[in-house]
Amino acid sequence: MNLAKSTYQRIVLVSRPKGMPTEENFELQTLPQPSPDSLGEDEVLVSNHYLSLDPYMRGRMSALKSYAPSQLLNETMIGATAGEVVASNYAGLKKGDTVTGHLGWAEMGVINGQQLRRIDTENIPLSAHLGILGMPGVTAWYGVNVILNAQPGQTLLVSAAGGAVGSVVGQLAKLKGCRVVGIAGGAEKCRHAIEHQGFDACIDYKQMGSKDLDKEFVLALSQAAPEGIDLLFENVGSSGFDAALACLNPHAKIALCGMVAGYNSRAEPLKNAGKLLTMRATLQGFIITEQLDSWPQAIAELTELVINKKLACRETVAAGLAAAPGAFIGMLNGQNLGKQLVRLAD
Ligand SMILES: NC(=O)c1ccc[n+]([C@@H]2O[C@H](COP(=O)([O-])OP(=O)(O)OC[C@H]3O[C@@H](n4cnc5c(N)ncnc54)[C@H](OP(=O)(O)O)[C@@H]3O)[C@@H](O)[C@H]2O)c1
């Protein structure tokens, strides 16, 4: 964002997608910049440097009832941001501080200072606070530590293994001494998971082409996890989830984090749900924004692991606000490796 200019840009949702979103669902608008002199009590003017793109945004674009309210039409698209304070009427923040918040798909914004978190960028880059040290990292930490309580020697399967959450899940589980198997779309994602993130095996579901996909998936899983699945971190739903149910060990635990395969279309029905009973499995769905008590510990532990280079951080970064709709659609299509971000300023 150019502070010398008198305008800034934002993106609003102008129509609700039917199926996969398209660029036409969004509109880039130019507005006058808020003046530092116009800030009210406790308000802060922030220049956004990075915007986080996340699958949950697809759910918010729908008018259907869910755990959170829908995105309003003709309003700035919601989203987490990381940036720099331009002016502040809030005692806890000053010009130049780096912060994260939820200013949405916009180059700048005004927000109450209590809704911002000041972050240290001395040892860790700003962008990481939206990924491995932000909501996706905390989600991975919570699932692995609290829901699954991963133990050495257990086999953990994670889907969307090349993405923001899945890549951290796999690395945390390896640090716990698990055998880690991933499912991801494409040879590059699988190679990256094994070579750079320590996965023991990774199944490329996009390589599967047989008429009997269910059987092919179960066969691939039983080869990658010959001793069965003790822990499942589920991000996708669909045929991979169904095949994983078929391979569960007795008393398996499942952290049901997301079902992204059903966000743009109707989720496929499960055929192997009976395994939840016969394997006496425990399945827990969770929404990480409801687990705020866990965030400080999660962020502290993740920060230490990143600083000590025990966790690798991978990002896919689009350039400029206008690229956000395309990058969001690309992320839903699996074009991201690691956390999908948009860089708005350096
Ligand atoms: N419960 C919570 O509080 C919480 C918090 C954060 C995220 N989540 C959920 O966690 C999951 C991962 O989120 P993320 O932020 O880490 O996103 P991400 O994995 O970085 O990006 C989404 C990935 O989903 C995969 N995907 C999309 N459509 C698919 C399909 N039809 N079949 C299989 N894979 C598909 C793609 O990877 P491939 O190339 O592998 O297909 C894509 O890269 C999502 O379901 C999200 O909603 C939940």
Q: What is the pLDDT of residues 312-329, one digit of tens each?
A: 999 999 999 999 999 999
* pTM assigned to the model: 0.97
139 lines ligand 1 (CB under 6 A): yes
- End-to-end CA distance of the chain, in Å? 9
72 lines ligand 1 (CB under 6 A): no
Q: What does the pLDDT average to over 127-145?
A: 98
pLDDT digits (tens, 9 = 90+) for 1-19: 556 679 999 999 999 999 9
pLDDT score, position 2: 58
Atom 19, ligand 1: residue with shortest CA distance: 163
pLDDT at 50 over 80: yes
How many CA atoms does the CB half-sphere of 23 hold within 13 Å? 8
Q: Is 145 helix (H, G, I), strand (E, B) or coil?
A: helix
> Looking at the DSSP assignment, which residues form a beta bridge with residue 343?
50, 319
56 lines ligand 1 (CB under 6 A): yes
Q: Hey, which of 241, 260, 294 would you mutate to test ligand 1's pocket, going by the most ligand atoms within 8 Å of its Cβ?
A: 260
336 lines ligand 1 (CB under 6 A): yes
Atom 30, ligand 1: residue with shortest CA distance: 261
Q: Give the closest residue to 158 by CA, choosing from 142, 180, 175.
A: 180
pLDDT digits (tens, 9 = 90+) for 182-194: 999 999 999 999 9
131 lines ligand 1 (CB under 6 A): no
160 lines ligand 1 (CB under 6 A): yes
162 lines ligand 1 (CB under 6 A): yes
127 lines ligand 1 (CB under 6 A): no
Residue 319: Cβ within 10 Å count: 10
164 Cα: distance to centroid of ligand 1 (angstroms): 8
pLDDT at 198 over 70: yes
Q: How far apart are CA 341 and CA 320, in angstroms?
A: 10
59 lines ligand 1 (CB under 6 A): no
pLDDT at 286 over 90: yes
Strands in 201-204's sheet, in edge-to-edge order, are 201-204, 179-184, 155-159, 229-234, 248-256, 282-285
Residue 214, C-beta contacts closer than 8 angstroms, at least 6 positions apart: 239, 242, 243, 271
192 Cα: distance to centroid of ligand 1 (angstroms): 17
- DSSP codes joined into one string, 278-338: HTT-EEEE--GGG-GGGHHHHHHHHHHHHHTT-S---EEEEESGGGHHHHHHHHHTT--SB
pLDDT at 346 over 90: no
163 lines ligand 1 (CB under 6 A): yes
Dmax (CA) for the chain in angstroms is 65
Rounded (5°) CA angle 272-276-282: 145
What is the pairing mode between strands 7-13 and 179-184? Answer: unpaired
pLDDT score, position 96: 97
pLDDT digits (tens, 9 = 90+) for 57-87: 999 999 988 889 999 999 999 999 999 999 9
Packed helices 164-175 and 187-197: angle between N→C axes, nearest 10 degrees: 30
pLDDT score, position 283: 98
